């Protein structure tokens, strides 16, 4: 472990959440980093922390503002869980993340990995934090040929890290923090997932079984994800001048509680759009086809056609989930990146 620690301390990456000594930073950054590239998270983290100073502020933030701060990161249930968790922390733990694993695991949105990261990086306690990078490093080091997506392998790796702290009698808080992050960094920049790993630059390569046996480019074994469902979707961008109709999605399911341009899960041509709108009571002045777009979620893929529908007035009553928004209003709404093509097309978003 001494070689790994020496390597880390000489080459560790710099991030705004690293070495702050604040478990809140560890928590927020780890939630943001789920399913998101590290470099992409930096700007979001800085913006989030500039506005949300502590757990109390997170527990009180308005939902629409929270979604706006999260916009672009995707997987919006993570943000909702952050707020729910902050509220529980205010109610039960005086606005502080607990230092007990069982207590952390009882909180919304916190699983074994995030709990381990908070404990080891935030509090310097010897608990395992096994993410994809750590799994890959250990699977190669021990030449594990089983599927690393399995719970069995993950639990084995957690036990391995725990025994590493225990057998090496590592109790110094900073050493625990460094070792946890050393495994993560090693997997991110040396023992990489795609392409050939830089084995000669790895401080562990002399004892790495995959390297010794020539299996570094084969391991780890990871079962394939289920194929995503393809959904054809037609968007109706209904506008009167610079005022647009937007609707809020249901509070459960995909993109819950976020705003969107109305649409249907069918592929319409221009005649279909005209017929559909007239059935709804609209009298379009003009229907114009816009560029098509595609957005990939973890389990579904939207193939979107969009039509601009110009109308002369807003004579129809709005539904409960609908609202009219001008360009200024749209700056404050949380509109997911699935609709980025059309937000950019109309120049409806300004950077903060």
The answer, yes or no, to whether residue 69 has pLDDT greater than 70, is: yes
Identify the pLDDT of residue 350: 57
Q: Is 270 a catalytic residue?
A: no
Q: For residues 248 and 262, what is the distance between their CA atoms, to the nearest angstrom?
A: 9
Domain with CATH 3.90.79.10 in the chain: 229-346
Question: Could you give the residue range(s) of every CATH 1.10.340.30 domain in the chain?
Answer: 2-212
CATH superfamily of 229-346: Nucleoside Triphosphate Pyrophosphohydrolase (3.90.79.10)
Greatest Cα pair distance, the chain, in angstroms, is: 75
Say if residues 59 and 86 touch (Cβ distance below 8 Å). yes
Percent of residues, the chain, with pLDDT higher than 70: 99
Phi, psi angles (nearest 5°) of residue 3: -65, -40
| Per-residue pLDDT, 71 | 87
Q: Give mean pLDDT, residues 60-70.
A: 93
Quick check: 352 pLDDT over 50? Answer: no
| Radius of gyration for the alpha carbons in the chain, expressed in angstroms and rounded | 24
Q: Domain 2-212 has what CATH class? A: mainly alpha
Nearest-angstrom CA–CA distance, 326 and 174: 51
From the candidates 30, 71, 158, 308, which is the catalytic residue? 30
Task: Please name the residue ranges forming H helices in the chain.
Answer: 2-11, 23-33, 38-51, 55-60, 63-70, 77-92, 101-105, 112-117, 132-141, 151-167, 173-189, 209-212, 270-279, 327-332, 340-346
Q: Has residue 351 got a pLDDT over 80? A: no
């Amino acid at each position: 472990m001494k070689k790994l620690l020496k390597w880390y301390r000489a080459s560790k990456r710099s991030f705004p959440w690293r070495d702050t000594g604040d478990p809140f930073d560890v928590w927020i950054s780890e939630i943001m980093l789920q399913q998101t590239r590290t470099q992409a998270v930096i700007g979001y983290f800085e913006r989030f922390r500039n506005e949300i100073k502590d757990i109390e502020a997170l527990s009180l933030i308005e939902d629409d503002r929270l979604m706006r701060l999260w916009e672009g990161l995707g997987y919006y249930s993570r943000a909702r869980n952050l707020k729910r968790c902050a509220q529980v922390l205010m109610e039960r733990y005086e606005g502080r993340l607990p230092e007990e694993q069982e207590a952390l695991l009882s909180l919304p949105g916190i699983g074994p990995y995030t709990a381990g990261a908070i404990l080891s990086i935030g509090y310097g306690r010897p608990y395992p934090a096994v993410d994809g990078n750590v799994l890959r490093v250990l699977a190669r080091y021990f030449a594990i040929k089983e599927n690393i997506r399995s719970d069995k392998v993950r639990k084995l790796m957690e036990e391995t890290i725990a025994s590493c702290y225990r057998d090496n009698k590592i109790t110094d808080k900073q050493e625990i923090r460094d070792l946890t992050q050393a495994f993560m960094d090693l997997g991110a920049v040396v023992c990489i997932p795609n392409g050939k790993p830089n084995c000669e630059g790895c401080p562990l390569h002399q004892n790495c079984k995959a390297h010794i046996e020539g299996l570094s480019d084969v391991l780890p074994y990871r079962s394939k994800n289920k194929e995503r469902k393809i959904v054809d979707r037609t968007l109706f961008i209904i506008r009167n001048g610079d005022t647009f109709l937007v609707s809020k999605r249901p509070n459960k399911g995909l993109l819950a509680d976020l705003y969107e341009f109305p649409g249907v899960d069918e592929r319409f041509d221009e005649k279909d759009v005209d017929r559909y709108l007239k059935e709804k009571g609209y009298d379009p002045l003009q229907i114009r086809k816009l560029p098509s777009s595609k957005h990939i979620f973890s389990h579904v893929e939207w193939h979107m056609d969009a039509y601009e529908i110009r109308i002369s007035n807003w004579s129809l009553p709005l539904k409960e989930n609908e609202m009219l928004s001008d360009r200024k209003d749209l700056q404050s709404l949380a509109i997911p990146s699935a609709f980025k093509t059309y937000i950019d097309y109309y120049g409806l978003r300004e950077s903060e």
